[in-house]
Amino acid sequence: MRSHYSGEISPELDGKSVTVSGWVHEIRDLGRLKFLILRDREGFIQITAKEGITRSEVLSDIDQLSKESVVEIDGRVKKNEKAPNGVEIIPDRINLISRSESPLPLDVTQKVSSDLDTRLNNRFMDIRKPEISAIFKLRGKILDAGREFLKENGFIEIHTPKIIASASEGGTELFPISYFDREAFLAQSPQLYKQMMMATGLDRVYEITTYFRAEEHDTRRHLNEVTAIDIEMAFIKDEGDVINILEKLVLTMIKEASHCKELDILKREIKVPEKIERIEYDDVLKLLEEHRKKLPWGEDLDTESEKLLGRVMREEFGSDLYFVIHFPLSTKPFYTMPEGERYSRSFDLGYKGVEIASGGQRIHDPKLLLERIKHFNLDPKNFEFYLKAFRYGMPPHGGFGLGIDRVMMQLLDLPIREVVLFPRDRHRLTP
């Protein structure tokens, strides 16, 4: 007989024989009556053993158990309105599969709290807590929804190199690695490769990817290893086509999250907006100045500006999500399509005061692209493999990178380290 998950056992199975497996969450000994709370990935199930009804060997086995040991239990389902899910199991056999040592590195029942470092150092056990595992179940579900949306809209999943010879976007914030007899780097993003795909005929691609950024941050929203959904799409009219896809993708993911049962465990409620507001960069500066924050034209939005903009958009526009469009060209990477001499066909997507996505239309003219590379004082030789793809027919294209860690962080109003299984920052390299 296969093991049932706790969520599969209902009062309708009253009197049926079942097998359940999981971790010993709690043991309560009331003398002639013993309760064992078993935990699996779907929740809890109560095991009730009583002298005179349960065999003495089973009662003895319960006495030998330690918390967090792994067990398999055969028994009969019995209705009990006071028990989790309205049922309990009367055990016929208890098989100890793996005994847990004592004391535990942290308390899964959370009667004793632990700080974040202790939890991350023992992440395997931290995730046994239902509200922590709920975060990652929810994360998986919104990624599934995002992947399904992209497939339905003609996007093909690709995988690009994570070991590269030179910077993807310029700059020095790269992790160098030893690659046989030469130096290489961990990829900042799949940017150059996904653009090259636009010259192949695979005109809509996406990747659920990893960024590596060697930035010495120490904040609640930055990590050095980041997960994102990156897309690129060709034959676009302008960046508006890209914005439309990103808007639908994000709303699809938030809608999926809004009706997941994990929100009950996390005690969260998520509202799904009908659309996402769009605001010009110049108008953002005016809004900020009205609220006593003056940002010089041509500068990117700093953390303080982002937070203030998030508060203003919520309080005055009723929107947690908003696109900032037409940034100054000087704030964007070399491959960004200019809009006149000063502006770019670019955008950022903000969510409650944090940038969660950035994108725009890219340059597809090889001459202009070479000019922009030189403008940023980058060596064209380092980009020869990339430039070659533009010389033999490159359609207009654009794309974005959507940070999944930040989406989860803002969706649940949690620090970024809470929503990443094994976070990597300047201080943490294990586990």
> Are both 3-98 and 124-419 of the same fold?
no
318 burial via Cβ count (<10 Å: 0-12, 13-18, 19+):
exposed
Catalytic-residue membership of 217: no
- The arithmetic mean of pLDDT across residues 183-205, rounded, is 96
End-to-end CA distance of the chain: 36
Choose, from 4, 326, 406, 417, the residue flagged as catalytic.
406
Choose, from 221, 326, 362, 397, the residue flagged as catalytic.
221
Q: Locate tokens 């996406």: which residue? A: 206
Percentage of the chain exceeding pLDDT 70: 98
- The arithmetic mean of pLDDT across residues 276-299, rounded, is 96
85 burial via Cβ count (<10 Å: 0-12, 13-18, 19+):
middle
Catalytic-residue membership of 406: yes
- The arithmetic mean of pLDDT across residues 61-85, rounded, is 94
Rounded Cα gap, residues 190 and 208, in angstroms: 10
89 burial via Cβ count (<10 Å: 0-12, 13-18, 19+):
buried
Rounded Cα gap, residues 46 and 69, in angstroms: 15
Average pLDDT for the chain: 95
* pLDDT over 90 at 28, yes or no: yes
Of 96 and 167, the one with more pLDDT: 96
Extract the tokens encoding 264: 């009950």
- The arithmetic mean of pLDDT across residues 386-399, rounded, is 97
pLDDT tens per residue across span 289-330: 999 999 999 999 999 999 999 999 999 999 999 999 999 999
Choose, from 358, 372, 417, 418, the residue flagged as catalytic.
358
CA atoms within 13 A on the CB side of 235: 6
- Whether the CB-CB separation of 42 and 14 falls below 8 Å is answered with no
Choose, from 12, 51, 148, 215, the residue flagged as catalytic.
215
Give residue 167's pLDDT: 65
pLDDT tens per residue across span 405-416: 999 999 999 999
DSSP states along 165-203: SS-SSSSS---EEEETTEEEEE-S-SHHHHHHGGGTT--
Per-residue confidence band for 169, with pLDDT thresholds at 50, 70 and 90: low
**Superfamily, domain 124-419:** Bira Bifunctional Protein; Domain 2 (3.30.930.10)
The pairing of strands 43-50 and 33-40 is: antiparallel
Choose, from 42, 88, 256, 355, the residue flagged as catalytic.
355
Give residue 222's pLDDT: 85
Per-residue confidence band for 49, with pLDDT thresholds at 50, 70 and 90: very high
Extract the tokens encoding 387: 């430039």
Give residue 267's pLDDT: 95
- Whether the CB-CB separation of 188 and 401 falls below 8 Å is answered with no
- Closest to 45 (Cα-Cα) out of 16, 19, 12: 19
Per-residue confidence band for 172, with pLDDT thresholds at 50, 70 and 90: low
Choose, from 213, 268, 424, 428, the residue flagged as catalytic.
213
pLDDT tens per residue across span 199-219: 999 999 999 999 999 988 777
Give residue 387's pLDDT: 96
Percentage of the chain exceeding pLDDT 90: 92
Tell me how far CA of residue 109 lies from CA of 114, 224, 281, 408, 418, in angstroms: 11, 31, 48, 24, 18
Tell me how far CA of residue 412 lies from CA of 87, 134, 312, in angstroms: 31, 11, 20
pLDDT tens per residue across span 115-165: 999 999 999 999 999 999 999 999 999 999 999 999 999 999 999 999 998
Catalytic-residue membership of 215: yes
Rounded Cα gap, residues 96 and 85, in angstroms: 24
- Closest to 132 (Cα-Cα) out of 428, 404, 420: 420
- Whether the CB-CB separation of 364 and 196 falls below 8 Å is answered with no
The domain limits of the chain are: 3-98, 124-419
Which 3 state secondary structure label does DSSP give 282? Answer: helix
Tell which phi-psi region holds residue 116, choosing left (phi > 0), alpha (psi between -120 and 50) or beta: alpha
* pLDDT over 60 at 101, yes or no: yes
Choose, from 123, 222, 268, 428, the residue flagged as catalytic.
222
Angle at which helices 404-412 and 130-152 cross, to 10°: 130
Query: Among 166-180, 302-316, 329-343, whose mean pLDDT is lowest?
Result: 166-180
**Superfamily, domain 3-98:** Nucleic acid-binding proteins (2.40.50.140)
107 burial via Cβ count (<10 Å: 0-12, 13-18, 19+):
middle
Q: Which residues contact 416 (CB under 8 A, 6 or more apart)?
A: 220, 221, 222, 223, 405, 406, 409, 423
Give residue 168's pLDDT: 57
Query: Among 181-190, 210-219, 398-407, whose mean pLDDT is lowest?
Result: 210-219
Per-residue confidence band for 107, with pLDDT thresholds at 50, 70 and 90: very high
Per-residue confidence band for 19, with pLDDT thresholds at 50, 70 and 90: very high
Per-residue confidence band for 370, with pLDDT thresholds at 50, 70 and 90: very high
Give residue 249's pLDDT: 98
